[in-house]
Every structure is written in C-alpha cells, then in structure tokens.
C-alpha cells in the first residue's frame, strides 16, 4: 500500500491495494490514514455494489439519503449522474453531507464508474485547519453557538428547483425538504482525534439557535468564505475505478461543474450515523 499526500492541508492518494482483498492489518493502516488525511482517493478498484457495501461497513452502518432512490437491491447506494445535456450537477456547493439529519454520516464513499476526459474534480477543505486559524476571540464566541441545518437549500434556489434540473438521477420527495431540520454545534469535537472542527455551511446552516436568519447570515457567510480558503483545500481528480472516502466530521467538499457536454457517473454511499458533539 502506497499512501501519498495530495496537498499540504489534507488528502492522500492510495495505490497498490485491492480493498476487496485487504486483511485486518491493512484496514487498520487505511483507517489510520483516513483519520490523518481526512480524504483518501483509492485508485484502481473494481467494486460491485456488494463490494462497496462491504467496504463502507468498515467505516460504519449505512445511512439513508432522503431524496434519491437507491439502485436495485442496494437502497443505500445511489448513482450520481450528470448527462451530456445537463448543466446542473449534484453537490456543486460547499457542504458536509446531510447535516440536516439528527445523525449525519461519519464517512462518504464515492466510486467512479464513468468520468469526463477532463474536469469533474472534487474539492475538499480541512475544517480542523479552518477552526485553528480563527482568532481566540472568534473561537470563544463560536463555542456556544448551535446551528440550525435545513435540507431546503434555501440559498441555492431551493432543493426542488435544483433537483429538477438533474434528469439523470432518480430524485423524489424534494418538496418535503423543509421537514428535514437538525441542530448541531457550530464547533464539533472529533470523537476519534479529539480535535475541534468547524461544522456549518452556507448550503445547510440557515441560522443559529436563538437568532434570526438575518442576524445569522453575515457570520455564516464569513465562516464559509474563511473555511474554504485555498490553503485549507485539496483536489481529487477522478478516473474510473477510483474510490474516494472522506470524513464528514472534519471536512467539506464541492463538486466542480466544469465538464458540460460530457457524462459523469458515480456511486455514492454514506455510513456511520453519528450525533455531532
């Protein structure tokens, strides 16, 4: 197994390993790298849906996703598809996955089936580094704040509108998005590393508990701009057979929408439901 950093802030590329044949010692090495690097791009895999479920099980139990139908026989895996004719992509804004659930996932697994000849990368940001770069006064203020997170995508035009532009995916129940709301601390402590990380996004955090949206918005906007500065990020370039696994407890990600006219098809699984603390 060869583990090579992708950037100074976070992320590593993994080569020379077959996940379907990895022994327990290998999994311990991989999990240590997952905690150290937060994002792992594991190259050269051949994974059927059952294999993806098995790999995901190493990181936790599967999590539901409310708005897209899973593939046949595997309800927790769904395909992320952008067709050649489409101009809107899925996941094209900075966020941590499903923070509007009471128990968001520990990890997301995204497996590449078809990738464009160029473009279609995914950006990741280190929420530990973003938190640690804040002033002492800002960290003290954030310590008591709780974010109200919604699935409605209010500041992106609304989930129903966004998903209606993604014809290649089996979306459903988007009109129920406002029913999905959860409160989580703005600063969460990682249960495995003990480090503190920012845990909010412009996509999902609509306000702070006890404050109005108008009062909350300037601070949400400031923190979103801060936590995705280039020095906190890495970039994953996709090719068929790449499985990327990332830690939602201490990262954000954004799918770059720069490949109009080309098809991109992935399989996605989230695992490890966990209450943020």
Is 97 catalytic? The answer is: yes
Spatial strand order of the sheet with 146-150 comes to 181-185, 146-150, 205-208
Catalytic annotation, pick one of 58, 76, 95, 163: 95
Q: Which residue has the tokens 């973003």?
A: 130
Contact predicate 38/246, CB 8 Å: yes
- Cross-strand bridge partners of residue 266: 80, 112
Q: Return d(Cα 52, Cα 54) in angstroms, integer.
A: 5
Q: Return d(Cα 225, Cα 194) in angstroms, integer.
A: 25
Q: Return d(Cα 197, Cα 124) in angstroms, integer.
A: 14
Catalytic annotation, pick one of 76, 97, 159, 247: 97
Quick one: how far is CA 81 from the chain centroid? 16
Contact predicate 182/102, CB 8 Å: yes
Q: Return d(Cα 121, Cα 266) in angstroms, integer.
A: 12
Question: Considering only CA atoms, which of 163, 164, 180 is closest in space to residue 90?
Answer: 163
Contact predicate 55/14, CB 8 Å: no
Is 163 catalytic? The answer is: no
3-state SS class at 208? strand
3-state SS class at 259? coil
The token duo for 207 is 């306000």
Is 253 catalytic? The answer is: yes
Catalytic annotation, pick one of 58, 163, 204, 268: 268
Catalytic annotation, pick one of 76, 188, 202, 253: 253
Q: Which residue has the tokens 């992106």?
A: 156
Residues taking part in catalysis = 95, 97, 253, 268
């Amino acid at each position: 197994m060869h583990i090579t950093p992708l950037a100074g802030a976070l992320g590593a590329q993994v080569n020379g390993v077959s996940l379907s044949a990895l022994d327990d010692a290998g999994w311990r090495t991989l999990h240590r790298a997952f905690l150290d690097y937060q994002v792992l791009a594991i190259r050269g895999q051949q994974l059927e849906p059952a294999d993806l479920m098995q790999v995901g099980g190493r990181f936790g139990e599967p999590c539901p996703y409310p708005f897209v139908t899973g593939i046949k026989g595997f309800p927790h895996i769904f395909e992320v598809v952008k067709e050649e004719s489409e101009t809107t992509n899925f996941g094209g804004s900075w966020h941590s996955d499903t923070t509007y659930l009471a128990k968001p996932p520990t990890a997301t697994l995204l497996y590449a089936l078809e990738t464009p000849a160029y473009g279609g990368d995914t950006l990741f940001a280190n929420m530990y580094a973003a938190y640690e770069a804040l002033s002492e006064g800002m960290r003290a203020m954030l310590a008591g704040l709780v974010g109200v997170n919604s699935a409605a995508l209010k500041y992106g035009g609304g989930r129903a509108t966004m998903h209606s532009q993604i014809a290649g995916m089996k979306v459903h129940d988007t009109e129920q998005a406002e029913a999905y709301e959860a409160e989580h601390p703005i600063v969460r402590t990682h249960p495995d590393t003990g480090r503190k990380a920012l845990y909010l996004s412009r996509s999902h955090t609509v306000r702070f508990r006890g404050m109005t949206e108008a009062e909350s918005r300037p601070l949400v906007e400031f923190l979103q701009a801060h936590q995705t500065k280039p020095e906190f990020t890495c970039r994953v370039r996709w090719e068929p057979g790449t499985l990327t696994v990332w830690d939602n407890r201490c990262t954000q990600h954004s799918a770059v929408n720069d490949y109009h006219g080309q098809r991109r098809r992935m399989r996605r699984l989230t695992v490890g439901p966990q209450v943020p603390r």
